[in-house]
Chains A and B, each alone.
Chain A
């Protein structure tokens, strides 16, 4: 059946099943229809998307406020994820914790961002959260020393769909919301789907 659709797909499925790939006669390439394709090249609207911000008591609350505002302006929602519930406060700034690491999972979010100032704890739940989002090709980001937490989870700043910056300024929030607008960073797919990225275990 697949031999008459696409020879490459057929060969991959046959290899997975341990069978010889049959030959067929796929139709000539019908060309790409942008109206039907899931491979978007331009960022779309992000209304209704959810961005999770990983933070703790020491996190850069001004940066979180910037990102929350930038997301809200485009109709997206930013939710703060912290090790424990309650309110993060620093001076006059306050951020309510929307999810704890125990009460969320990556499926809730279209993107995850590690706030600057967040202390690396090596919590396996955080590693799983970030790794799942990474493997599902979702946009990821970090600013300031939040980058170290991404790296501790095996995610490098240069990876496709991973946005990093010194501060959560306009440039950072713009790049991040654009990455969310692409839905997924499919350039990452060959690596993560080939299981080339091992799960990271922290002690």
Chain B
């Protein structure tokens, strides 16, 4: 527990804690604390009924420590979990005035701060970027009127024409649930099953399996709003 920020070492504690023998101090002047800051004499032993007795549930530090451990992993988001992003500047050509009220597109040369995130769709943590997959391209414009989010992919079509089928297409494309393979890409039985029975996905399947699925680099990604 020594490394967690709210349950770590307290270097401002007095040199000798009351009631704590010197031997249990980790280092001179530093002590472990509970999540609430209560100084701990020891985090290695739970309260027990006597020397060989059962563990006592009144040991709040034991329960807190184990509960914290059980919950410390945040589940990965389902799609577009892996990505990289960069800050940059969008410069307007100024030709958007006739079709939009958005200020950042209205004046020639107007520069707007942007944050762009590139992502893969299916891969989990540790998966490869080189696998054939649709790529995400999300741009956040920090415009004077407020933040404008433009969410895109590198392909202008999609597998489904109704959002209610999104869980189905993603379940089909994710790795086989019993094997967890193949990672990050869709060329496997469950997806072919979906694609062959759900023919409106055909157009996107052809894009996905083409070389658009393996862009050369982020520089070569062509983003499009999904329509």
- A interface list, Cβ under 8 A from B: 1-2, 4-5, 36, 38, 47-49, 107, 110, 183
- Assembled-state Cα–Cα distance A95/B180 (Å): 46
Q: Is B220 an interface residue (CB 8 A)?
A: yes
Q: Is B206 an interface residue (CB 8 A)?
A: yes
12 contacts between A and B (CB under 8 A): A1-B195, A4-B202, A5-B202, A5-B206, A36-B156, A38-B210, A47-B219, A48-B216, A48-B219, A48-B220, A49-B216, A107-B130
| CB of A111, distance to nearest CB on chain B (Å) | 12
* B196 cross-chain contacts in A, Cβ below 8 A: 1
Contact A48 B202 (CB under 8 A): no
* Chain B positions 183 through 215: 1 when the CB is less than 8 Å from some CB of chain A, otherwise 0: 000000000000110010010001000111000
Q: Is B217 an interface residue (CB 8 A)?
A: yes
- Assembled-state Cα–Cα distance A32/B199 (Å): 22
Count of inter-chain pairs, beta carbons less than 8 A: 22
* B206 cross-chain contacts in A, Cβ below 8 A: 5
Q: 3 smallest A-B Cβ distances: which pairs? A: A48-B219, A1-B199, A48-B217
- Assembled-state Cα–Cα distance A130/B211 (Å): 21
- The number of chain B residues with a CB under 8 A from chain A is 14
- Assembled-state Cα–Cα distance A178/B111 (Å): 32
* B212 cross-chain contacts in A, Cβ below 8 A: 38
Residue of A nearest to B206 (CB): A5
* B220 cross-chain contacts in A, Cβ below 8 A: 48
* A107 cross-chain contacts in B, Cβ below 8 A: 130
Contact A110 B199 (CB under 8 A): no
* A1 cross-chain contacts in B, Cβ below 8 A: 195-196, 199, 202
Residue of A nearest to B130 (CB): A107
Indicate which residue in A2, A5, A36, A110 contacts B216 across the interface (CB closer than 8 Å): A110
| CB of A137, distance to nearest CB on chain B (Å) | 10
* B156 cross-chain contacts in A, Cβ below 8 A: 36
- Assembled-state Cα–Cα distance A36/B206 (Å): 13
| CB of B129, distance to nearest CB on chain A (Å) | 12
Residue of B nearest to A6 (CB): B206
* B195 cross-chain contacts in A, Cβ below 8 A: 1
